[in-house]
Chain A
Amino acid sequence: MVTKLEEGGFLRFTPVGTIDPRTLPGQAVEIHGKKKLRGVIGAAPPHLLSAKERKETVPLDKLFIDPGLNEDSVKALVSIGDYVSLEQKPLKLKEGNIISGKALDNRAGVTALVFCAEELNALRHQADVCFVASLQEEVGLRGAMTNAYNLEPDLAIIIDVTHGDGPGLDDRSVFKIGAGPAIAIGPNLHPVLTRRLEEIAKERFLPHQKEPIPGHSGTDAWAFQVSREGIPTALLSIPLRYMHTAVELISLDDLLALSKLISYFAGSLDRLFLEELKNC
């Protein structure tokens, strides 16, 4: 978010959500001012850098956006408080079913919901299914809080992303890309509901992985679980590499398997299962 207009037409900014400042120098951005502007987060050229500077991170408060406009134009078009997003169109990579882009966390999840809704058109299901595209998750699960209260569901399945594998990462908390959605297990998640999802994945031969989460899941599931008198909640996640950068990467196969899994689960729901949920 824009915090200051500097002399020369440059902008200072503050992050909305968590961003590693090391991913920002040289990053293209879109400034959502009176009209959409493009810019770049400035990076000093190597020619002008001292050896010491190269060994340091440029902290967020020293970074700036260059909209590449005269100062007068910037003043006319940009105000403090304007949002700025990373600029990167999604793209399919050569092999497999891999795509890369910004905001796959969690537009990938929203996409899975859309697929699921389409699939449910062709499936017989007794339960009413509500789809929620929630907001303000990145600043503290706020949209989920009011939604869970408002909809008062009998159970909830949260769809999000989890960390994909990569060198140098702790293998306790990363999951293989393309090996199926991760079904979360732990105090945040309802054991009976979670077990049912796993059973359905097995019955339908859908690839899946188990994601143990010892506490806060960092997802909307945390808010849903304790809404009103408590909501049985499960969490399904698409493994995603390089989270919160412009080059997030997922396998579409995982996304599709995830949406199938929710569809089959929704199709299998009946009153009896709601009783079973109480036996935990």
Chain B
Amino acid sequence: MLAELSDLRGVSGDEGIVRRLLVEKLDQFQSKTAVDTMGNLLVRKGSKSINPRIMLSAHMDEVGLMVMSIHDSGLLKFKPVGGIDRRVLVAKRVRIGAEGLPGVIGSKPVHLQKEGEQKKPFDEEKLFIDAGFKNRSEAEKNVQIGDYVTFDSSCVELGDGFYRGKAFDDRAGCQILLELLLENNGLVFDAAFTVQEEVGARGAAVAAYTLQPQVALAVETTAAADTPETEKESISTALGAGPAISFMDRTIMVSRDMREGLVEAAETAGVPYQFRRFTGAGTEAGIIALTRDGIKTGVVAVPCRYIHSPHSILQEKDIRATVNLIRAWLERRQ
């Protein structure tokens, strides 16, 4: 399921294909499903009325690129959609447009470089996509300006429960919401599968307004840096240590009772958890918290290495632990 979700190509503003798969999987919720004008998918689980109302959110979009112009030579110029370090784009394969035409982001061959050239990364404006078109007119037959571009990689299991894939951020969150919706747990909550998180949490703002919860939990995928070249104090989160609970990020100060509620739920359920030891970068929790007259909001995230690159790595058991934590948290609140 994670592989299926992660392999779908849904860059911010182009999440339709992800939403359609989710709608299909959530067929049994047909009468309790709505899609708003931005493309958020809103699903209500349980008919009991509870107080306070709870919303879980996970974003459907992934980072990618957009075709900005077509060069006379048939090469395509692009810009990133969402935060991508241009250095991971060099020498990678991509898929272009709705049909997923293959292309590559090439670079000057090492043999033709001057001494010292490798010390500086390639300039973003000098990178281009080569889809093998021989000139502009051939390119224009196949590609349009504004086409979305994704990394070209498929999810694989590496062993020991580790998975490698392109869009775990935040299809892992989508999967967690999906599981909590589909399992027979008797819980009552609203799920928002949101759009455009990577370009500024645009979808979540509208979803939270519509659903009007009193409490919300953003279910995210967060950077893990439990890798070489990172000092132990700066690893943010580690794989295999369970869901990461946030104190704050660039967008939100999580209230103490939200945070403690999550910790208590984890401890009661015997689920491993960790705190996110990093306070930068944003989530949609920030905009949700500021919706209407304010919504109490927390963040729980699956740790994942190399997010926003063609190949991120996560561990299945962290997804399992996140599902268990959120279930326990919901149970304690109703």
Interface residue ranges, A against B (CB under 8 Å): 6, 8, 10, 12, 18-28, 37-40, 42-49, 54-58, 62, 64, 66-70, 73, 88, 91, 93-96, 98, 100, 163, 166-170, 173-174, 178, 218, 241-247, 249
Q: Does B110 contact A244, Cβ atoms closer than 8 Å?
A: yes
- The CA-CA distance from A247 to B113 in the complex, in Å, is 18
* Chain A binding surface, main DSSP class: loop
- B residues less than 8 Å from A66 (CB atoms): 227, 305-306, 313
CB closest residue in chain A, given B222 = A47
B104 proximal to A (CB < 8 A): yes
Q: Which of B83-133 contact A (CB under 8 A)?
A: 83-93, 101-113, 118-122, 126, 128, 130-133
B158 sits at the interface (CB 8 A): yes
A80 to chain B, nearest CB (A): 16
Provide the residues of chain B in CB contact with A37, threshold 8 Å.
Answer: 158-159
Instruction: State A58–B90 Cα separation when bound (angstroms).
Output: 13
CA distance A147 to B316 in the complex (A): 51
In the complex, 10 of the A-B residue pairs with CB atoms within 8 angstroms, ordered by the A residue number, are: A8-B227, A54-B86, A56-B120, A66-B227, A91-B93, A167-B75, A167-B128, A178-B134, A244-B109, A246-B91
A84 CB to closest chain B CB (Å) equals 14
Residues of A within 8 A of B132 (CB): 93-96, 98, 100, 249
B58 at interface by CB-CB < 8 Å: no
- CB-CB nearest 10 A-B residue pairs: A98-B132, A68-B158, A93-B132, A247-B104, A26-B88, A68-B162, A23-B91, A242-B106, A245-B91, A47-B281
Tell me whether B87 and A243 are in contact (CB under 8 A).
no
- A168 and B278 alpha carbons, distance in the complex (Å): 40
- Cβ B104 vs Cβ A249 within 8 A: yes
Q: Is B234's beta carbon under 8 Å from chain A?
A: yes
Q: A45-B306, A218-B111, A247-B91 are in contact. Are A167 and B225 (CB under 8 A)?
A: no
A100 touches B93 (CB 8 A): yes
Knowing A247-B91, A247-B92, the reply to whether A46 touches B158 (Cβ < 8 A) is no
For A218, the chain B residues whose CB sits under 8 A away are 111
Interface centre among A26, A58, A62, A242, by most chain B C-beta atoms within 10 angstroms, is A26
Contact yes or no, B130 A169, CB < 8 A: no
CA distance A262 to B329 in the complex (A): 72
Asked if A243 meets B160 with Cβ closer than 8 Å, knowing A26-B311, A44-B230, the reply is no
Q: Which of B134-158 contact A (CB under 8 A)?
A: 134, 138, 141-142, 153, 156, 158
B309-A25 in contact (CB<8A)? yes
Bound together, the chains give a CA A98 to CA B138 distance in angstroms of 13
Residues of B close to A167: CB separation below 8 A: 71, 73, 75, 126, 128
Inter-chain contacts of A170 with B (CB < 8 A): 112
The answer to whether A57 touches B118, judged by C-beta atoms less than 8 angstroms apart, is: yes
Across the two chains, which residue of chain B brings its CB closest to A105?
B109
Q: Could you tell me if A68 and B101 are in contact, using CB atoms closer than 8 angstroms?
A: no
Q: How far is the CB of A233 from chain B (nearest CB, A)?
A: 20
Give Cα A20–Cα B107 distance, bound, in whole angstroms: 10
Q: Smallest CB–CB gap between A173 and chain B, Å?
A: 6
- Given A64-B229, A170-B112, A178-B134, A27:B92 Cβ within 8 A: yes
Query: Across the two chains, which residue of chain B brings its CB closest to A91?
Result: B102
Contact A95–B159 (Cβ < 8 Å) = no
Check B102 against A8 for contact (C-beta < 8 Å): no
Residues in chain B near residue A8, CB distance under 8 A: 226-228
With A68-B164, A91-B102, A169-B112 as known contacts, state yes or no: A47 contacts B107, CB within 8 Å.
no
| Given contacts A38-B164, A100-B102, A169 and B92 within 8 Å (CB-CB) | no
Chain B residues, CB < 8 A from A163: 109, 111-112
